[in-house]
A and B are shown apart, each in its own frame.
Chain A
Amino acid sequence: MRRLNTHRKPPRVGDQPLFRRLLIGIVLVLVALIIVAPLVIIGVEASAKGWAVYRDTIIHPDTRHAIMLTVLAALVAVPVNTAFGIAAAWAITKFDFWGKRFLLVLIEIPFSVSPIVAGVAYLFVYGLQGIFGPTLDAWDIKILFAIPGIILASMFVTAPFVARELIPLMQAQGRDLEEAATSLGASGWRTFFSVTLPNVKWALLYGVILCNARVMGEFGAVSVVSGNIRGQTNTLPLHIELLYHDYQATGAFASASILATIAVLTIIAKVALERQGAGRVRPQAKPAESNS
């Protein structure tokens, strides 16, 4: 058995040509069927009735409103979670304190909780049958079945994204540089912006992009707290469901194509950032996770 690249001399396990080709073949077919086909069908179904219908769906007021609401949720939830992620990473990696491991687990909880459970949990805080519900109602503040509820639920499901990218990296980089900067008289903020931030910028951006994709695509948690009011509290994923159950498949797929495009752009950005080294430093056996 002869291999062209000769830097590895003996053939490694599984390198017999027949086995290799067979395995690559099976994997590629399955990837095409399971991962590529769903992406392709969105484009096919969205354009099934031609460009005019597609355009009409996208510029329909309800769709435009859903897009606006989705963007609004991202504009609030992503910066807030970024600030939280930076604060959490700074506290956890630059200091030693009691209960740190427990805090790490708490931060990761939203990844393990079903989005439906998250939505129900928010109902019991801000809903009429919840802790603050009656008070909020008395003051006429609407959180649930309104935009604040959607934003809060989105913040829950994406809370760990930025923190999880920053913590392993900042842990690996240690505290020496920051300690040197402060001992030379730099303020805390100056130390963060001139010393820490340049070292973690790609990881930060990586976390922000994954967080954004998830906020824009969140369905389960948002569908519990939104009340699904057409033209008022429908985000893009909820709008897709509504159109789909209304037997407007083409419209549903046209709206879905916007989110699918964002997903593809997210992956491209992710690959580009990974080339800068982002998403690499992490405790082993932890995948980059994004969705529900």
Chain B
Amino acid sequence: MRRNVLPGLRLSLGVTLFYVGLIVVLPLAALAFKAASLGPADYWRIVSSDRALASYQVTVLSAFGATLFNLFFGLALAWVLTRYSFPGKRLVDAMVDLPFALPTAVAGIALTALFSANGWFGSILEPLGIRVAYTPIGIMIAMCFTSLPFIVRTVQPVLEDLDPALEEAAQSLGGSDWTIFRKVILPLLTPALLAGVSLSFARSLGEFGAIIFIAGNQPMSTEITALLIFIRLEEYDYQAAAAIASVLLITAFVMLGVTNWLQARALRYTARG
């Protein structure tokens, strides 16, 4: 390692470590400490209670459904934005970021207004027997909305950088479009798609603001884990809140590890291609 001549290491690193320590590490450590102080038996009883298990189930299943939908829709959106030109394309490209820019509470009341029985969409869907607001489908839709940009924005740059020569080679060998997509393009997109999927799924697991308005929040059926934590707090049951929050925190760390691993893989992959 060469000798560094630049000044400011002590100040900048000091500020960084102090801030990360105070703002990020200390609170999370305090939460972990609180959850750990429960003891294994109590901890297990709380995190595996029926109501908690039901909340994991609805959260994970909804996040799974939302991510699956966004996988297809996000890929189609990224494809359309990079491959075709049509009027209003730049506007659509900009609008993709709206779910990130719009506060979740605002998204929550807007989606509820659209999908409630007398809303624009609800009044069409309800006579067909499809209830969205105050059901798990509503939770899924809120998750779809808030996590859509992840997949679009991870796949888009890879699609843009795709070498046309690869497709041309496949075409000259007589491959049909569908075959070329499946055998040439999709494998190149897979690392980015997986990274986007893991980001989208992780975000859906922790989402709160957009969901609580549209979810109905019935224990055992439409109560997400984040809300259960909030309810335990309102009941002053801080230990239960800490324990269930620690479950979400551990999940977040696992997803962070998975995402970092997938992104490192995606980087290696694109660098080689």
Contacts and interface: CB of A to CB of B under 8 A. Distances in A.
Nearest to B232: A120
A110 B91 CA distance: 30
Contacts of A54: none
A50 interface: no
B106 A256 contact: yes
B226 A116 contact: yes
A131 B32 CA distance: 12
Contacts of B28: 109, 113, 121
B163 to A, nearest CB: 12
B157 A284 contact: yes
Interface string A236-279: 11101100100001001100100110011011101100000000
Contacts of A107: 16, 20, 24
Interface residues of A, number: 112
Contacts of A19: 177
A30 interface: yes
Contacts of B6: 94-95, 175, 178-179, 182, 188, 191
Interface stretch (A56-64, A82-90, A134-142): A82-90
Contacts of A34: 73, 144-145, 148
Given A113-B28, A114-B207, A285-B266, A35 B96 contact: yes
Nearest to A31: B92
Contacts of B12: 87-88, 90-91, 94
A24 interface: yes
A159 B19 contact: yes
A41 B113 contact: yes
Contact of B252 (A8, A16, A114, A259): A114
B9 interface: yes
Contacts of B267: 283-285
A286 interface: yes
Interface in B151-196: 152-154, 157-158, 161, 164, 167-168, 171, 177, 180-181, 185, 191-192, 195-196
A287 B149 contact: yes
B233 A123 contact: yes
Contacts, number: 348
A15 B150 CA distance: 26
Interface string A119-133: 011111101011100
A105 interface: yes
A217 interface: yes
A99 to B, nearest CB: 10
A202 B73 CA distance: 31
A135 to B, nearest CB: 14
Nearest to B70: A34
A183 B92 CA distance: 48
Given A12-B167, A42-B106, A244 B213 contact: yes
Contacts of A183: 5
Interface stretch (B40-48, B50-58, B127-135, B255-263): B255-263
Interface string B81-115: 00110101010101111111111111101110110
A130 B29 CA distance: 11
A22 to B, nearest CB: 11
A172 interface: no
Interface string B204-241: 01111100010000000000001101100100001001
Most buried by B among A113, A191, A290: A113
A19 B77 CA distance: 14
Nearest to B193: A285
A198 interface: no
A156 B23 contact: yes
A31 B110 contact: no
B100 A120 contact: no
A150 interface: no
B93 to A, nearest CB: 8
A112 B255 CA distance: 8
Contacts of A95: 4, 6, 9, 13
Would you list the 10 A-B pairs with minimal beta carbon distance, nearest first?
Answer: A217-B103, A114-B206, A287-B153, A290-B100, A121-B27, A188-B7, A219-B209, A38-B110, A220-B208, A91-B12
Interface of A: 8, 10, 12-16, 19-20, 23-24, 26-28, 30-31, 33-39, 41-42, 45, 83-84, 87-88, 90-92, 94-97, 103, 105-110, 112-118, 120-125, 127, 129-131, 152, 155-156, 159, 175, 178-179, 182-183, 187-188, 191-192, 210, 213, 216-220, 223-224, 236-238, 240-241, 244, 249, 252-253, 256, 259-260, 263-264, 266-268, 270-271, 283-292
19 contacts: A12-B167, A31-B96, A38-B102, A45-B113, A91-B8, A106-B24, A112-B253, A114-B207, A117-B206, A120-B245, A129-B34, A129-B238, A131-B26, A182-B5, A187-B7, A210-B100, A237-B103, A260-B106, A283-B267
